[in-house]
Copies of this chain bind each other. A is one copy, B any other.
Amino acid sequence: MIVVMKPNCSEAAIEHVLRFLEQEGFTGHLSRGVERTVIGVIGSVNVQNPPGKGMITPALGEALEAFPEVEGVFRVSKPYKLASREFHPDDTVVEVPVACVAGGTVRIGGPAVVMMAGPCTVENEKQLMTTAEAVRKAGAVILRGGAFKPSTSPYGFRGLGEEGLKLLAKASREFGMAVVTEVMTPADVPLVCEYADILQIGTRNMQNYMLLDEVGRAQKPVLLKRGMAATIEEWLLAAEYILSQGNRAVILCERGIRTFEKSTRNTMDLSAIPLVKQLSHLPIVADPSQGTGRRDLVAPMTLAAVAAGCDGLLIEVHPNPEVALKDGAQSLTTEQFAELMPRAEAVAQAIGRSFVTA
């Protein structure tokens, strides 16, 4: 961390900062420029330390910014540790038991790309089974589907709840797929764990810290969607919450961010995929359905996400999007999904990867 003092600040002010750093267990390293004096803060971070111990945290920066003669503070080291590539140089591979694949396990974050597909929302048995069968046949190995649904309006459909979870479990057994589904509040974590293989944290809950703590204590992989206005750093700090509770099976999911552009629901930030790969060891998947909000953009953005290096995809499919209870406008039909799979496989091959197949 670098502390920049105001121009012409007093020697007493510099002393004040240095003494504060010493008290807090850091060393200050003074450097006087023509216009300003800067103080380098040297901590004792290293990967042998327990998490949080001796770390130069955002809180230290905030404290230093409060000094009246400090002009600004720049962080030099990353504020996350367990999520960082420096701490864990090798790729994390999250293993998920999936009956339909050879060996019974899907590896997310390994060489092969994983297709997760299904309806936005579980509406009824027929809709779910039809969709599951179709996406399974076309090549998906993990079934997505919402039982607890965040709805912007209190008058919207909020999901079937436990009944939806049971239907997901039934489809899972029938088609040999794993299930990824959202959990919205700490109290529901045990229930969702009973039925799901991967716990999804939605975009609105990326900074619901008590929920992050709770899934961090669960024994299931977590798919953590990026907050709709979260920086990549904040996203990795949210992952750090889960990791620091002991759950190391975190999958990141880019699902678009909020910008001024109005013709798409969100703006997919595909550069986040290679950037996260550099900063972190965690696998990253893409959700082009939420990312664009438009069915006609799902296929090209799926291909682009594969080319950018994603480890998996989350795609909304509905047998009859016009009567979907939620987000029909962004759901592919089962036919459109079946047409997309071989095109996505071709792009994966072009970059030296393949899709996980059953």
Q: Point out residues on A near B: beta carbons under 8 Å.
A: 2, 4, 7, 20, 29, 31, 33-36, 38, 40-46, 51-52, 55, 57-59, 62-63, 65-68, 72, 74, 76-77, 79-80, 86, 150-158, 184-187, 204-205, 207-211, 228-229, 231-234, 237, 240-241, 244, 257-264, 267-271, 273-275, 278, 291-292, 294-297, 300-301, 303-309, 321-329, 331, 343, 346-347, 349-351
Contacts and interface: CB of A to CB of B under 8 A. Distances in A.
Contacts of A306: 307
Given A63-B322, A275-B263, A42 B46 contact: no
A84 to B, nearest CB: 10
Nearest to A203: B207
A282 to B, nearest CB: 15
Number of copies: 4
A218 B77 CA distance: 43
A307 B347 contact: yes
Contact of A232 (B41, B55, B261): B261
B209 A151 contact: yes
A59 B326 contact: yes
Which 8 A-B residue pairs are closest in the complex by CB-CB distance? Answer: A66-B328, A229-B229, A52-B155, A65-B329, A307-B307, A350-B350, A304-B308, A274-B300
B258 A229 contact: yes
Nearest to A78: B35
Contact of A66 (B36, B46, B324): B324
A136 to B, nearest CB: 23
15 contacts: A20-B322, A35-B45, A40-B40, A58-B156, A152-B207, A152-B234, A154-B241, A184-B209, A185-B211, A205-B208, A232-B263, A233-B262, A257-B259, A300-B308, A303-B307
Contact of A322 (B41, B66, B278): B66
Contact of A67 (B77, B229, B234, B322): B322
Contacts of A34: 42-46
Given A62-B328, A258-B229, A152 B308 contact: no
Contacts of A63: 322-325, 328
Contacts of A264: 271, 275
